[in-house]
Amino acid sequence: MMAHKILSVLLLVSISISAYGNPPLDSLDVNRMMEMSLEDLLKLEVSIASKKSLTTRESPGIVSVISGQEIRNMGARDLIDVLRMLPGIQFGYDVQGVIGMGIRGNWGHEGKILLLLDGLEMNELMYSTNYFGNRFDITNIVRIEVIRGPGSSIYGGNAELGVINIITKSGADYQGIEAGANTGIAADEAGTAMSRITGSLGGGYQNNNNTLNVSAHVYAGQGMRTQIPYIDAYGTTHNTQNNSQIYPVNSNIAILYKGLKFRNFYETYQYNTIPYYVEAAATPARLAFDNWSTELKYELKINDKLTLTPKINTSIQKPWHIDKPTQHYEISNDSATGKYAVGSNILSYTALYRVQAYRYAGGIHANYDINPNINVIAGVEAFTEGAHKKDTVFFINQNNNISFNTISAYTQALIFTKFVNITGGLRYTLHNVFGSAIAPRIGFTQVLGPVHIKLLYSRAFRAPSMENINLNPNIKPEETDVAELELGSKLSSYLFITGNFYYINIYKPIIYGVTGNNEEAYYNATKTGSIGTEVELKFQKKYYNFTLNYSNNFAPAGINEVEDYKVPDVKDINLAFPTHKVSLYSSFRLMDNLYINPSVNIYSERYSLGLFIDTTGAAEVIKYPKLAQINVNISYSNIFKVKGLDVHLGMYDLGNANINFIQPYMGNAMPVPSIGREIILRAIYKFSKS
């Protein structure tokens, strides 16, 4: 089945990629990023925070941008490695071995962080979660734009605490065909094992007048979550080396003709997991996420000032497909003796969750430049979403089907004045079950020569997902107030520093729990949140650059009132996440086309909870010491004088610090080990017709 899916996707890509075009600027040229000045980097524009292209200093949000070249230089294995380098971002473990994301000390896994791939929403539809680890092809990324802060007024109810937009290569970036291969070996106290082997194929074309741009990319392979033994909450040790495989397969196809844009993304993501809930499976359970998403939109330029963009989106998914293993023995009866005999060990799987979900959405977006100093955007979006479960009654309406309808309207004004730039916006959402939610925002930004300042306030919300409503029809949206202040300064022609302070209050947080009848449920708690600071220093010269950042977060009792997030008898900290984190990624040019790229992540103490082990019912608090993950990547472009052939040799977690994944709430599941020390070899070959 897996081979059939891979073959089908490869065939699709082969059909979609056409003949080579003229050679463009090579997007994989290692020299290009190194030779950009700091001034050029600060002028790069993003639109993630405002839907209008602005520099990161002007954008009304706390925005980070990591270029594809920086990603390749740091030798990142997957998206986890990249995002860990940003201030305030950490990863944790949820049920059934899923790795989710936290931001600024808050668990953002269920519906609090929006993940976009070229503008397509990647959150699964039933719980609004994301899943990480060996999922996307790192080599196909042009850049990643991140809002560390709310985005609900622009993006809606999954952008409560952050937005991540992955931008992949277009036809202009390819102008030919590119193939990549990646292999890794894990080597630590647990032994040596093949940790990953993946391959990719992509290509594209853009014509001379830029009216046609087509691209296609496919990624497939096998990875391993960890080879380090897993110790469950009962103290039992489980072998993971051949029991934590990850199988990603995805394709991404885009066609742009004049103002018409079409994109199709297909994904099947499967993995095996020993960790399950509190207990662990002796034989790994199997999970799968399937996702097929499309977007069709048309940019209609009415005149030089007004652009209308109608669009249609569809998403069909099969998320959280769980097969739990059952081992039993074949029993036979000897008719001659009348005795029973125990035969061979038989392994079977029981399907625990089988749902097909869908979302059909449409809307229209307007962008109007009233004059050079005033820009207004506005839009209306509506979607219907639902799910179907075969065979058995599953949903609250005692039916195999559920469906919901949502309509939203939003607007935003950007006003540029001599003294300050003002951003004001609002989104109103109406849902046919949970009611309405409103997300206003206001921001003041200004760039004064080398110095910039941002003062931002947003009210965001998290819309309950379909499973939240299914388990509690009376669930209400979370509401979040976020205040942010950022100051930045260009200290010299090659040194830039920025720092921000944030205050997050989450009201009526949606919390997972278990009822007295031992049934799953969701409920609205009182409030949670965090306060903290983030500081980043960026140094950029022709032959050497680095980015160094520090972040801290605190969750005082007056902010966090959710007991499931607290560490008993330890003040001002939430489970799983370090209070302090330092990250550094850098690049040294040793000679033409040869670079060495060290990086490091340093974490303060983290905490998890074990089983309820004493007579009072108090949870065991487990403290994990400070650690430093040290990585080195060597990059060589045009190796062996073969133009277009780039090779990367990466050595990850040299000291085998093993940043494990901790459950960020009181679930009593023991942390999941990461892969530990790993050696990576990656080759990328790009060829185009001269």
Tell me the three-class secondary structure of 629-649, residue by residue.
Answer: EEEEEEEEECHHHCCCEEEEE
Kindly indicate the confidence band of residue 69, based on its pLDDT and cuts at 50, 70 and 90.
confident
In this structure, how many other beta carbons lie within 10 angstroms of the beta carbon of residue 491?
Answer: 12
- Of 523, 414, 424, the closest CA to residue 464 belongs to 523
193: Cα separation from own chain's centroid: 27
Q: Is the dihedral of CA 142, 146, 151, 157 positive or negative?
A: positive
Kindly report the average pLDDT of the chain as a whole number.
87
- Residue 434 to residues 154, 264, 326, 429, Cα–Cα distance (Å): 20, 31, 39, 10
Flag the least confident range among 270-274, 328-332, 582-586, 589-593. 328-332
- Residue 17 confidence (pLDDT) above 50: no
Which residues is 566 bridged to in the sheet?
A: 574
Looking at residue 89, its pLDDT comes to: 95
State how beta strands 113-117 and 162-168 pair.
parallel
CA distance linking residue 416 with residue 422, whole number of Å: 6
pLDDT average, residue stretch 350-360: 90
Looking at residue 282, its pLDDT comes to: 77
- Longest distance between any two alpha carbons in the chain, whole Å: 100
Looking at residue 10, its pLDDT comes to: 34
pLDDT average, residue stretch 119-144: 94
Task: Look at 663 and 610; give whichever has higher pLDDT.
Answer: 663
Residue range 469-483, pLDDT digits in tens: 999 999 999 999 999
pLDDT average, residue stretch 284-309: 95
Looking at residue 242, its pLDDT comes to: 83
Residue range 193-233, pLDDT digits in tens: 899 999 999 999 999 998 999 999 999 999 999 988 888 87
Q: What is the pTM of this model?
A: 0.90
CA distance linking residue 528 with residue 536, whole number of Å: 26
Exposed/middle/buried for 84, CB within 10 Å: 0-12, 13-18, 19+? Answer: buried
Structural tokens at position 245 = 């495989």
Q: Reduced to 3 states, what is the DSSP secondary structure of residue 155? A: helix
Question: What letter represents residue 537's amino acid?
Answer: L
Is 44:31 a contact under the CB 8 Å cutoff?
Answer: no
Which residues is 204 bridged to in the sheet?
A: 176, 215
Residue range 335-349, pLDDT digits in tens: 555 554 444 555 677
CA distance linking residue 138 with residue 46, whole number of Å: 20
Which residues is 498 bridged to in the sheet?
A: 488, 536
Helices within 534-690 (DSSP H only) = none
Flag the least confident range among 78-92, 102-116, 425-439, 631-645. 631-645
CA distance linking residue 314 with residue 292, whole number of Å: 8
Which residues is 460 bridged to in the sheet?
A: 480
Is 292:268 a contact under the CB 8 Å cutoff?
Answer: no
The label of the residue with tokens 């668990």 reads 107
- Residue 31 confidence (pLDDT) above 50: no
Kindly indicate the confidence band of residue 29, based on its pLDDT and cuts at 50, 70 and 90.
very low
CA distance linking residue 630 with residue 650, whole number of Å: 11
- Residue 363 confidence (pLDDT) above 90: yes
Kindly indicate the confidence band of residue 617, based on its pLDDT and cuts at 50, 70 and 90.
low
Strand ranges for 232-355 from DSSP E = 237-238, 245-257, 260-275, 280-298, 300-301, 306-333, 340-353
Residue range 532-551, pLDDT digits in tens: 999 999 999 988 999 999 99
Contact residues for 97 (Cβ-Cβ < 8 A; gap 6+):
225, 244, 271, 273, 274, 275, 276, 285, 287, 672
CA distance linking residue 80 with residue 342, whole number of Å: 46
Kindly indicate the confidence band of residue 9, based on its pLDDT and cuts at 50, 70 and 90.
very low
Kindly indicate the confidence band of residue 606, based on its pLDDT and cuts at 50, 70 and 90.
very high
CA distance linking residue 226 with residue 184, whole number of Å: 12
In this structure, how many other beta carbons lie within 10 angstroms of the beta carbon of residue 359?
Answer: 20
Flag the least confident range among 81-85, 322-326, 465-469, 660-664. 322-326
Kindly indicate the confidence band of residue 28, based on its pLDDT and cuts at 50, 70 and 90.
very low
Number of H helices, E strands in the chain: 8, 40
Looking at residue 391, its pLDDT comes to: 65
Looking at residue 451, its pLDDT comes to: 95
Strand ranges for 354-450 from DSSP E = 356-371, 374-388, 401-416, 421-431, 435-448
pLDDT average, residue stretch 654-683: 89
- Residue 328 confidence (pLDDT) above 90: no
- Residue 12 confidence (pLDDT) above 50: no
Task: Look at 93 and 12; give whichever has higher pLDDT.
Answer: 93
The label of the residue with tokens 């069709």 reads 296
For residue 242, the surrounding DSSP H or E stretch is: none
- Of 685, 682, 687, 688, the closest CA to residue 221 belongs to 682
pLDDT average, residue stretch 48-57: 78
% of the chain at pLDDT higher than 90: 65
CA distance linking residue 42 with residue 90, whole number of Å: 26
The label of the residue with tokens 């844009």 reads 261
CA distance linking residue 381 with residue 464, whole number of Å: 18
Looking at residue 670, its pLDDT comes to: 84
Flag the least confident range among 81-90, 434-443, 634-643. 634-643
% of the chain at pLDDT higher than 70: 88
Is 161:150 a contact under the CB 8 Å cutoff?
Answer: yes
Kindly indicate the confidence band of residue 497, based on its pLDDT and cuts at 50, 70 and 90.
very high
Contact residues for 466 (Cβ-Cβ < 8 A; gap 6+):
125, 126, 357, 385, 386, 387, 402, 404
Looking at residue 618, its pLDDT comes to: 63
Residue range 151-167, pLDDT digits in tens: 988 898 899 999 999 99
Contact residues for 487 (Cβ-Cβ < 8 A; gap 6+):
451, 452, 453, 454, 498, 499, 500
